[in-house]
Amino acid sequence: MAEEKSFKYVISGADISAGYAAREFARQGLKHGELAIISNEPASNKIFGLGDIDIETNTNLSKNYICGGPGGTGEESQSHQWYKDKGIELILSTEIIKADLSTKSFFSTGGTIFKYQTLIVATGSTCVRLSECGFQDTNAKNIFYLRDIKDVDQLALTMETKKKRTVVVIGGGYRGFEVSASLTVNNYEVTMVFPEPWIMHWLFSAEIASFYEGYYANKGIKIIKSTKATGFSTNSNGEVTEVKLDDGRTLEADMVLLDGGGRPMTSLFRGQVVEEKGGLKTDGFFKTSVSNVYAIGDVATFPMKLYGDMRRVEHVNHAFKSAEHAVKAIKAAEEGRLIQEYDYLPFYNSRAFDLSWQFYGDNVGQSVLFGDNDPKSPKAKFGTYWVKDGKVVGSFLEGGVVEENNAIARVARTQPSVGSLEVLSNVGELLIGSRVNRNRVLVSCHI
């Protein structure tokens, strides 16, 4: 007869949002044995190192784990002992082969049946594999993805043993942007190659990208744009030695890092939960179409209240906030209380070399650049506003201090009207040039 375990709450998956949900359950009051986290992943920094992540500055574990970058929030780290002390059962390295949401049951390959009353899906995203992108020689060694903790462990080991220090980063997205900088700081020769016309194409304008591409080039990073990597050459040990490009060129490499994007892990629940835009569709409390089933973090497609549409967001800031909101909604429902719907302001940011940027809102419409974006400037400081339908809908700032970053966040939230793009550029200059009333430059007036 199959072993059966029952819990009041089950978190499916060990994405970073799972750790944040566990933390919020503990804050809300949790009896020993009420909560379990079930995942096929082993012990992972995604749920065991939350005290080392700054959710507002996105000091992220993958970059720090590989290259020893800075981190720390001052909060209690969620170690094995932390979960044990809170009475939370960790059921890791456990593959679930079936989820029956009608009977609130999970079935594992080991034969154990896990029952729950309330389920939170926190499975996160999996990386897009090379084989899915038409690559040749996908079995070559020393090719690493940046989403799987096992892969990161192997990368760290390879970095310790490799005598040569030549790395090709395929992809010009978030992870490629940050890891290329970290590797360069640690004396690796880095080449970035990506098919888009500029770096961080999904977020940056061409003017923003030109600064970072120039800055990276000055740091010794080679950037090859509008070009696809198609395959690899290997040595007798099966290790990659070259990256082949679609224009016939080859790049020397003894390691390759892939920044190929991610895909929400929803297959376990397919056909049982309504999906939208690649994720599990939720309401403003992260409740799915199935009663007592919630989805958080990367896997949730939720109502973006500010813009009146459904969106899915991959960012540690949203992982934290969605987890917190879902748990509060669960506890409120149990107590017969109401809470406000999730009202998220899109936020992205990064720290690379001695740079630091923040973005808020939507990058749609016409972009307006202000400030000094010359990559050769000793202390470049600049920003961008995006204007749609006569309103500022998005804002970006490089090199801002706290009060300036707070100001651009308020602009994106309040969406002031714009009378003149030239005036908007001048107001942006005031924002980064004045030490007086920065927070009120835009939010206290219509432009």
Average pLDDT over residues 9-13: 97
pLDDT at 201 over 70: yes
Of 339-353, 365-379, 427-441, least confident by mean pLDDT is 427-441
User: In this structure, which amino acid lies at residue 378?
Assistant: P
Average pLDDT over residues 291-297: 97
Domain end (from 260, 288, 312): 260
Whether residue 156 sits in one domain with residue 222: yes
Question: What is the structure's pLDDT at 428?
Answer: 74
> What CA–CA distance (Å, rounded) separates 249 from 244?
6
CB 382 within 8 A of CB 354: no
> What CA–CA distance (Å, rounded) separates 256 from 259?
10
Whether residue 300 sits in one domain with residue 212: no
In the block, residue with structure tokens 């973090």: 297
Domain housing 208: 130-260
Strands 143-145 and 255-258: parallel
Average pLDDT over residues 284-304: 97
User: In this structure, which amino acid lies at residue 137?
Assistant: D
In the block, residue with structure tokens 């707070």: 406
CB 162 within 8 A of CB 255: yes
Residue 341 counted as domain residue: no
pLDDT at 57 over 50: no
pLDDT at 74 over 50: no
For the chain, the farthest-separated pair of C-alpha atoms sits apart, in whole angstroms, at 74
Whether residue 291 sits in one domain with residue 217: no
Strands 347-352 and 105-108: unpaired
Whether residue 306 sits in one domain with residue 227: no
Residue 342 counted as domain residue: no
Whether residue 278 sits in one domain with residue 214: no
Spatial CB neighbours of 154, under 8 Å, sequence gap ≥ 6: 144
Spatial CB neighbours of 378, under 8 Å, sequence gap ≥ 6: none
pLDDT at 80 over 80: yes
pLDDT at 401 over 70: yes
Q: How many domains does the chain have?
A: 3
pLDDT at 96 over 90: yes
DSSP string, 40-78: SS-S-HHHH-GGG-BTTTTB-HHHHHHH------SSPP-
Question: What is the structure's pLDDT at 138?
Answer: 66
Average pLDDT over residues 318-322: 96
Question: What is the structure's pLDDT at 105?
Answer: 98
User: In this structure, which amino acid lies at residue 158?
Assistant: T
DSSP class of residue 438 equals G
> What CA–CA distance (Å, rounded) separates 327 from 118?
10
- Cα-to-chain-centroid distance, residue 424: 30
Question: What is the structure's pLDDT at 13?
Answer: 94
Whether residue 241 sits in one domain with residue 147: yes
Question: What is the structure's pLDDT at 152?
Answer: 65
In the block, residue with structure tokens 């499916």: 12
Average pLDDT over residues 8-25: 95
CA-nearest of 281, 98, 100, 253 to 169 is 253
Whether residue 155 sits in one domain with residue 249: yes
pLDDT at 338 over 90: yes
Of 12-16, 126-130, 204-208, least confident by mean pLDDT is 126-130
In the block, residue with structure tokens 């995942």: 39
Task: Name the strand (E) or helix (H) holding 304.
Answer: strand 300-304
Domain end (from 260, 294, 322): 260
Task: Name the strand (E) or helix (H) holding 144.
Answer: strand 143-145
Spatial CB neighbours of 85, under 8 Å, sequence gap ≥ 6: none
Residue 287 counted as domain residue: yes
Residue 349 counted as domain residue: no
Of 316-325, 329-338, 420-429, least confident by mean pLDDT is 420-429
In the block, residue with structure tokens 């005036």: 423
CB 260 within 8 A of CB 194: no
Residue 42 or 238, more confident: 238
Average pLDDT over residues 18-46: 89
In the block, residue with structure tokens 């080039």: 217
Mind listing the pLDDT tens digit for each residue in 212-248? 999 999 999 999 999 999 989 999 999 999 999 999 9
Average pLDDT over residues 10-29: 94
Cα angle for residues 218, 224, 228 (degrees, 5° grid): 160
pLDDT at 58 over 50: no
Whether residue 84 sits in one domain with residue 182: no
Whether residue 410 sits in one domain with residue 358: yes
Whether residue 151 sits in one domain with residue 44: no
pLDDT at 446 over 60: no
pLDDT at 67 over 90: no
Average pLDDT over residues 60-87: 60
Residue 99 counted as domain residue: yes
In the block, residue with structure tokens 């056909």: 271
Q: What is the domain-level CATH number for residue 405?
A: 3.30.390.30
Strands 4-12 and 113-121: parallel
Q: Taking the CB of residue 305, how many other CB atoms lie within 10 A of it?
A: 14
Report the mean per-residue pLDDT for the chain.
86
CA-nearest of 373, 377, 378 to 357 is 373
Domain end (from 229, 260, 291): 260
Spatial CB neighbours of 84, under 8 Å, sequence gap ≥ 6: none
Q: Taking the CB of residue 365, how many other CB atoms lie within 10 A of it?
A: 17
> What CA–CA distance (Å, rounded) separates 304 from 343?
7
Residue 108 counted as domain residue: yes
Mind listing the pLDDT tens digit for each residue in 121-169? 999 988 777 766 667 666 788 888 866 666 666 676 666 666 668 999 9
Burial of 20 (0-12, 13-18, 19+ CB in 10 A): buried
Q: What is the domain-level CATH number for residue 50?
A: 3.50.50.60
> 420 in helix, strand or coil?
coil
Spatial CB neighbours of 35, under 8 Å, sequence gap ≥ 6: 7, 8, 9, 10, 11, 22, 25, 87, 88, 89
Residue 347 counted as domain residue: no
Length of the chain: 447
pTM of the model: 0.88
Whether residue 281 sits in one domain with residue 250: no
Whether residue 250 sits in one domain with residue 144: yes
Residue 230 counted as domain residue: yes
pLDDT category of residue 262 using cuts at 50, 70 and 90: confident
pLDDT category of residue 421 using cuts at 50, 70 and 90: confident
Enter the tokens of residue 334: 């149990």
pLDDT category of residue 89 using cuts at 50, 70 and 90: very high
DSSP class of residue 340 equals P
